[in-house]
Amino acid sequence: MTYGGNTTYIGTMTNLTNSAIGSQIVKLRFSFSGSGAGMAAVDAGSLLATAETGSSSANKRADLALSDVYPNSANPPLSLNDFDDSVVAVIPFAIGVHTNLYQTGVTNITREQAYDLMTDTGIIVSGPNTFYGMPQSYLGGSGTNVLYLVGRNSDSGTRITLFRDIGFYGNPTQWSTNGAGQFVSVTGASSGATVANLIGTYTNVIGYVGLSDLLSNTGNNGVALAYNGVPFSIANVQNGAYGIWSKEHFVDKVGSLTAAQAAVRDALIAALTNQGFQTTNGVYTNYFVDLSHMKVDRNDDGGPITRL
């Protein structure tokens, strides 16, 4: 896979198993955005700038999207009837902090505390008044420094999932840093890697992020908090004890694909959902939860977790 700039990549796949594809090489072009934005692009058949062999980019129609959430969770909501929707994985999320903060006692967050955190964060000066957000001690820490919330933009499946899980539907107060390392108010980061890097750099930051980004983009300085007293583990997702997770969807617009494109889609779905891949491939087992061992399910993002 080759980086093409502007969050776009290009790659080829030669080992998909599908009789309709045979031995032909399939070229895939990627454009990375939030889950909501990706599904909206597929729904509209939007032309997106993607990487291209021999040039910096090419405008190509959005045919397929990977999404952490159902189409009707996007903002604005998309119709479920517009899409062929295949669930290919379970993706866990975490509320994470720097290991130094964790070691001071910030090891757990409840649903109610997470809800409060969405707007009770940072230091805001308004005229003669100064608002001080949630201190570390509120979450069990030994210090009183104010916590700064870092998170994603409104198109992000990570943000949609976390907000649905805690029942928050407002506008969060979120932060990033400027060139001088000072905290500034932002609407949200465009990537999970950015959020994870902030968690791994600052000991007064708390953020919501995909497990894969937390584990791979914090410089080994990030740790997941327990949620409602339950630590993250693959087993705790599978048995329903740990609740911050969603289904990974592979979607296309109904009737929009050619026969060849549909064959590639089917081969990709088969490869992603293969039990051998999900239970033995390190790329998957380190960051995702295999479908075959799920003991619970949920039919809506943030919805009730029920026993299978």
* Alpha carbon distances (Å) from 29 to 4, 35, 40, 65, 68: 10, 17, 17, 11, 19
* Cα–Cα distance measured from residue 271 to residue 248, given in angstroms and rounded to the nearest whole number: 14
DSSP 32-92: ---HHHHHHHHHHT-EEEEEETTEEEEEEE--EEEESS-GGGSSS---GGGEEEEEEEEEE
pLDDT (tens digit, 9 = 90+) per residue, 144-177?
Answer: 999 999 999 999 999 999 999 999 999 999 999 9
Among 238, 271, 291, identify where a domain stops.
238
pTM of the predicted model, to two decimals?
Answer: 0.90
| Overall number of domains in the chain | 2
Q: How far is CA 182 from the centre of its chain?
A: 26
Same domain, 84 and 117: no
Query: Same domain, yes or no, for 223 and 290?
Result: no
Last residue of a domain, one of 203, 238, 273: 238
Asked if residue 151 lies in contact with residue 208, where contact means CB atoms within 8 angstroms, the answer is yes
- Identify whether 76 is preceded by a cis peptide bond (ω within 30 of 0): yes
Range of the domain at 200: 92-238
- Check whether residue 113 and residue 216 sit in a common domain: yes
- 260 and 201, same structural domain? no
Residue 103: give its domain's CATH number: 3.40.190.10
Nearest 5 degrees, angle CA 9-CA 250-CA 34?
Answer: 55
Claim to verify: residue 51 and residue 154 sit in the same structural domain = no
Contacts by 274-281 with C-beta closer than 8 Å and gap 24+?
278/89
Q: Per-residue confidence at 22, pLDDT binned at 50, 70, 90?
A: low
SS3 category, 206: strand
Amino acid at 76: P
**Is 160 found in the same domain as 264?**
no
Which of 238, 262, 291 is where one domain is finished?
238
Question: Do 261 and 169 sit in the same domain of this protein?
Answer: no
In terms of domains, do 221 and 103 share one?
yes
Shared domain check, 287 and 155: no
Residues 154, 283 share a domain? no
pLDDT digit string (tens) for 100-113? 999 999 999 999 99
